[in-house]
A and B are shown apart, each in its own frame.
Chain A
């Protein structure tokens, strides 16, 4: 872990000269045997791992058209080479998307193509050796599966799919990643990533209810396991305790309260996150998604709404109907599932929320599009709603909003640097370096428009930013939840005082860069 503590913000879009091998020594902790076995994977690297890996690879090629087409389709045009935040932040050439893909492609060519079997040198085919496996383990855990490269590829080749396949192969030969696999074990056993059991969850929620009542004088409930409620809220477990996530959860509760709907959390499905997507396992992803279906059935709800979480929303929006559907037992009048932003904006547009924008006047905000929301999902009925709906909410609850540079937002957004199963301390170096393009874009609006805070709608983004922003000289409290802003602005019926009470963030003079 070298000198990345003293990173400077680089001028935007200065593409670095290659530094070969710059990140080759960074790998995440390997999953312990019990983490592996909990998911049905071999505990440690199996003896005949080469054979097993090729077998699994062959199986995935038959099961996934994306993998098959993406293995064949690359022409090495170079369009993606300057698009990955990890490449821009590390200069390691293998962090160029095409080079990352080639780690798997060279094995594909050697074992599955005519050219690679008979002319390996010509087409860059290689035998699967221990060195290759180590390279896979290192560099496929330096990809946050953010899909930015896929946007710019003329064939839409998606490195995320390839890194998911590589991780799936590694899991099946006994070389899984500790962070993701341990967490998935907790979800299967307890119901959430944190391993927070029901009594602790109830206790936490009661604490929040007290906080809200103290602040507003209004009895806002955060119900759990309430059978017969209309809405099941599924939210990332980080919302239960982490900052600024929890302020977002308070925001959802206030919105539900004001809308007068009955809602509930579930302790059985107390997690929106689905880390199985990161490890590319359809079976694991299905198993986690089925918990949500079961909770919805058991609690006899009519609708499912997801809280602020990026990859969770991709799994929910794009995959949940496939994995755990059909959801024909829910009210067909509502999309399944809905995003909390869709729900909130609808109320705002109907004029059902009493909002005092000035409550957020001490902030000038910019919005960070989370990669999985931006490039892997949608909100609302029209394409691009995932960009417009959250911004419409920000504008409805704040007076001061500025977007970052056009080539760093919407579908061109830069990953926070911590997505895709990389949000772990053992990968801190790549997390900090990978955040650099986003930090650069943020710095620009800080200097030009006096932006003080950045809003996100993803639990991973929020955790990642509060950890890495200080490395760039930006205060960790400068990342906020979208529904935290809603919470600040909303005036509940019967709320005490004319101005919402500001407990934090009252210092308007402090510049974000000098924090």
Chain B
């Protein structure tokens, strides 16, 4: 019974996550940007823009320039989480991809860094007056959710081991539609339950900052308005018969 509920929820969560995110990304991609508004100085070539976005996504460049503490906590959290997620691929692949094994020794300890980063970020929401003012219930709850996921995961790794072999059989069963029982370990159920909640809320929450950053015109536009006429389709209609030139 428990296994069935979780199996169904996993399929549902995956569907909502994928469809919800795809819908949102499509919306961002198809909404026109009528004007050239990169925050300057901006790259003058497309490859320059790719480099700018890479620096934003990999190093949080703007945040670094803004506030070193927020940058430190945020960057540690995000990259520890990346390592943790990559490490978790071992529970969904058989045989385990070779590079996932490379990540394993780092991923094991990254869980602590992830939790520390999250707690520090949460601490700011209480300790810094300005950040306290702008924090709403959903901002706190999102951190609680992630802290719960990281905390329950670390519990299983370092305090009360779960039956990882049975769990892997369950997850591979989900992928191959050959359903296997889920170990009824309370910590595991909390961990998986919270992950499900995360997948459900992702497309409806501020977690949309993840795809959003790639579509932000102030960061992803090339600074070349004098050389190349930028024109949105709805704006071209205002030009009458004069219209020409492309939109990016």
Contact B216 A322 (CB under 8 A): no
Min CB–CB distance A90 → chain B (angstroms): 13
Q: What chain B residues lie within 8 Å of A377 (beta carbons)?
A: 40
User: 0/1 per residue, A59-73, Cβ < 8 Å to B?
Assistant: 001111110111011
Question: Which residue of B has the minimal Cβ distance to A66?
Answer: B217
Contact B40 A102 (CB under 8 A): no
B190 at the interface (CB under 8 A from A): no
Contact A64 B133 (CB under 8 A): no
B244 at the interface (CB under 8 A from A): yes
Contact B35 A322 (CB under 8 A): yes
Contact A63 B234 (CB under 8 A): yes
Question: Which residue of B has the minimal Cβ distance to A372?
Answer: B40
Cα A374 to Cα B135 with chains together (Å) = 31
Question: Which residue of A has the minimal Cβ distance to B121?
Answer: A77
User: Which one of A96, A121, A147, A326 contacts B229 once the chains associate, using CB atoms below 8 Å?
Assistant: A326
User: 0/1 per residue, A146-159, Cβ < 8 Å to B?
Assistant: 01001111111110
Q: Which residues, 198 to 248 on B, are CB-close (under 8 Å) to A?
A: 204-206, 208-209, 212-213, 215-219, 223, 225-232, 234-235, 238, 242, 244-245
Contact A96 B134 (CB under 8 A): yes
Give the interface size class of chain B.
Answer: 35 or more
Query: Taking each of A61, A122, A335, which has the highest tally of chain B beta carbons within 10 Å of its own beta carbon?
Result: A122
Contact A378 B40 (CB under 8 A): yes
Q: What chain A residues lie within 8 Å of B31 (beta carbons)?
A: 61-65, 68
Q: Which of B82-90, B99-107, B122-130 contacts A (4 or more CB under 8 A)?
A: B122-130
Cα A156 to Cα B124 with chains together (Å) = 22
Min CB–CB distance A416 → chain B (angstroms): 18
The number of A-B residue pairs with CB atoms under 8 Å apart is 213
Q: What chain A residues lie within 8 Å of B217 (beta carbons)?
A: 65-66, 69, 156
Cα A79 to Cα B60 with chains together (Å) = 11
Cα A113 to Cα B206 with chains together (Å) = 11
Given contacts A156-B219, A322-B231, A375-B39, contact A18 B133 (CB under 8 A): yes
Q: What chain A residues lie within 8 Å of B35 (beta carbons)?
A: 282, 318-319, 322
Question: Which residue of A has the minimal Cβ distance to B219?
Answer: A156
Given contacts A122-B138, A151-B65, contact A78 B128 (CB under 8 A): yes
The size of the chain A interface, using a CB distance under 8 A, is 72
Given contacts A73-B209, A76-B136, A156-B62, contact A63 B37 (CB under 8 A): no
Q: Which of A220-228, A380-388, A425-433, A447-455 contacts B (4 or more CB under 8 A)?
A: A380-388
Contact A318 B238 (CB under 8 A): no
User: Which one of B62, B137, B234 contacts A121 once the chains associate, using CB atoms below 8 Å?
Assistant: B137
Q: What chain B residues lie within 8 Å of A271 (beta carbons)?
A: none
Contact A72 B130 (CB under 8 A): no
Contact B60 A386 (CB under 8 A): no
B36 at the interface (CB under 8 A from A): yes
Contact B128 A123 (CB under 8 A): no
Q: What chain B residues lie within 8 Å of A74 (beta carbons)?
A: 206, 209
Contact A322 B37 (CB under 8 A): no
Contact A318 B36 (CB under 8 A): yes
A82 at the interface (CB under 8 A from B): yes
Cα A65 to Cα B234 with chains together (Å) = 13
Question: Which residue of A has the minimal Cβ distance to B56?
Answer: A154
A283 at the interface (CB under 8 A from B): yes
Question: Given A79-B67, A411-B39, 9 more contacts at CB 8 Å?
Answer: A64-B31, A75-B209, A78-B128, A123-B138, A124-B137, A151-B65, A161-B37, A383-B41, A383-B44
The 3 closest A-B pairs by CB, nearest first: A383-B41, A156-B218, A152-B66
